[in-house]
Chains A and B, each alone.
Chain A
Amino acid sequence: MSWMLLDPPIFASRVALLVLAAGMLLAFVRLARGPSLPDRVVALDLVATHLVGAIAAYSILTGEPMLLRSAIVLALLTFLGTVAFARYLERRQRP
């Protein structure tokens, strides 16, 4: 078994990337099916959180800690996008 000789974090980051890909696929199913617009916003938020996790796993896989800065930017943008969607939904209801 050659994969047993790998460094544990490297092997774990590969497994984590696979698991995250499966989760992201499920979130995209909800994004496509979601019966209402808030459902889709929640699914998009979940996809972005999965992306932050994938960036963390990939920075361990490549040994490149600089990738964390893109995770910071992504988390910030996700929050702003969700808040903007919520304000838009509430404002649109006003007569």
Chain B
Amino acid sequence: MTGLLSAILLVVGAVFMLLAAVGVIRFPDLFTRMHAATKVSTLGASSMLLAVAVHFGSLGVAVQALLVVLFFFLTAPVAAHMIGRAAYFVGVPLWQGSVRDDLRGRYDPRSHVLGSGAVPEGAPAWPRDDDESRRSGGSSTPGSTSGRERQ
């Protein structure tokens, strides 16, 4: 019974990891790719580690496996937040079909301070003033290198 349970958990976790990789390949820009890479792969790895905890059935192994699971759940959101924040500030282009960019004009590139609330009048939208050039990148137009130039 535990053998069957751990087998199911293993295969389900591996399929989730494969779906995460497919999402990283297929999604159009970095910020949508991070959805797949962070959440789905955390779930997949946690499922496979739960399979290890069920399979060996001893307290020590289960504690180690659950420790890794807890560690993933604590660190994956933090790492994704830091990478997303740094990528936005570096100027990685959004997907052309993005409908909302709540950070526009709220970032001070000198002091690295993010403001909140209303955008002040006449404030330049950083990193790009014009919305068109910011959204002209993305992986759907492979010839464009606007994301790379800013680095």
Contact = CB atoms under 8 A, between A and B. Distances in A.
Interface in B95-151: 109-110, 112, 137, 139, 145, 147-148, 151
A24 B21 contact: yes
Nearest to A17: B14
A91 to B, nearest CB: 9
A56 B78 CA distance: 23
A65 B61 contact: yes
B36 to A, nearest CB: 8
Interface string B29-54: 01001100100011011001101100
Main SS class of interface, A: helix
Query: Interface range on chain B: under 10, 10 to 19, 20 to 34, or 35 or more?
Result: 35 or more
Contact of A65 (B33, B52, B151): B52
Contact of A68 (B4, B61, B139): B61
Query: Interface range on chain A: under 10, 10 to 19, 20 to 34, or 35 or more?
Result: 35 or more
B79 A20 contact: no
B42 A49 contact: yes
A72 B67 contact: yes
Contact of B86 (A7, A46, A57, A90): A90
A13 B33 CA distance: 27
A60 B10 contact: yes
Given A12-B7, A75-B72, A93-B109, A27 B24 contact: yes
Contacts of B25: 26, 29-30
15 contacts: A12-B51, A15-B10, A16-B14, A26-B22, A42-B83, A45-B83, A46-B20, A50-B21, A56-B51, A57-B48, A71-B68, A79-B79, A86-B83, A93-B90, A93-B109
